[in-house]
Amino acid sequence: MKDEPKEIRVHFPESLHGGNYANNMTVSHTREEFILDFLMIAPPAGAVTSRVVTSPGHLKRMISALLENLKNYEEMYGEIQPSQEPRTMH
């Protein structure tokens, strides 16, 4: 008998329903994890709006899902023209 997929109930806190806007992102990593910092840059200042820490294996699955969705988006709406990245000062 095959293992039936188990349903996982996911709680989605109401405080997260609106999401966080980001117009910039930085990526860093250790051997064990990737750290994605999402920023909102609105000159003359900017702020980190969210941080995601994930494993290398999961990051690879995320990239695959993003590439597939980007392809689907561009097939539906046309090619996205890259915009100029906001400048940050360190």
pLDDT digits (tens, 9 = 90+) for 22-80: 999 999 999 999 999 999 999 899 999 999 999 999 999 999 999 999 999 999 999 99
Confidence of residue 5 (pLDDT cuts 50, 70, 90): confident
Residue 86 pLDDT grade (very low, low, confident, very high; cuts 50, 70, 90): low
Q: How far apart are the first and last CA of the chain?
A: 58
Rounded Cα distance, 11 and 33, in Å: 24
Cα–Cα distances (Å) from 38 to 48, 61, 76, in that order, read: 6, 19, 26
| pLDDT reported for residue 11 | 95
Q: Is the pLDDT of residue 90 over 60?
A: no
